[in-house]
Amino acid sequence: MSTTAETQPGSHESRLAHFPVTFFATVMGMMGLTLAWHAGEQALGLTLPVSHYLLFASSALLAAVAALYATKLLTRFPMAAAEWHHPVRLAFFPTASISLILLSVALLGQYPALAEPVWIAGTALQGLLSLLVIADWIGHRPFQPIHLNAAWFIPPVGNILVPIAGVPLGHPDISWLFFSGGALFWIVLLTMVMNRLTFHDPLPSRLQPTLVILIAPPAVGFISWMRLNGGLDSLAMFFLNAAYVFALIVATQLPRILRLPFALSFWALSFPLAALTIATFLYATTTGSAVHLWLGGGLLAFLSLVIAGLVGRTLLAIARNEICQPE
């Protein structure tokens, strides 16, 4: 009896069918690295245009991942629909819109004419996906505490991101709308996630790297609030220092996380660390703090090492057929 290409574990057809939406997290990480290097180049006075080359690499990655997932939607729609109905992967769908918003931020400095249409597309998609995900959360699906994890912060983070490009592009009202919604759901989900982590079973090993996402909402919140408010104030200080607090909490878990087998969820380490790096550089340039300037430089170096390791390990996993397989 013959086996079709669809069911052969190593076949192209099988791997496309199981190409996960979580692959957009790699784009978020690379875009975050691009923006972190741009912030570092400005704050540290670096002349090497590393961020320029990273922008092209990140854009190419976004195009490749989007093309592959679009092909999956067109040719393997039931598999994509199954991901939408998955209680964990559902929260990862806004990584696609977040990738577009991050691209618009990266384009602001070098290609401003392209930034606005990309921001509009990303913001519209972010709004749609956020509403659909939240509607699913509060609908009639039987979610259990075990399904809750820090990846549920991804939709609010995307909303909080909107003002970073939205305000300079002249869209303050839309920026306030998204920021308010994102901040509101961050507070609600933070309470739920901390309850889940404290009073229920530990996260499965594949999801433990998502703990690092705890850093992202306040770090991104600081950057966005600085755009909306136009300067440093008490709320901005709260966001920044909340990000540092979560970074210290996450640091206590990193030795255990790094001993786990590799999975795409390890890319959760990348964007939150990038957001913290950018926020640190922003505070350093705003206040002239030498301590934060050095801290930003250290975080940038660490971020670069982390993403280099993630890229290498992901390429190895692809070569070994360890990902894009049935779970």
- pLDDT by residue (tens digit) across 208-231? 999 999 999 999 999 999 999 999
How large a percentage of the chain has pLDDT more than 90?
Answer: 74
What are the CA-CA distances from residue 101 to residues 41, 176, 234, 293 (Å)?
A: 21, 15, 27, 26
Mean pLDDT value across residues 77-94: 92
Q: Is the pLDDT of residue 133 over 70?
A: yes
Pair 91, 152: CB distance under 8 Å: yes
Residue 12: its pLDDT value, please? Answer: 54
Which CATH number does 17-320 carry?
A: 1.50.10.150
pTM summary value: 0.93
The residue extents of the domains of the chain are 17-320
pLDDT of residue 164: 97
- Complete DSSP assignment for 143-158: --GGG--GGGGHHHHH
Which tokens sit at 294?
């050095």
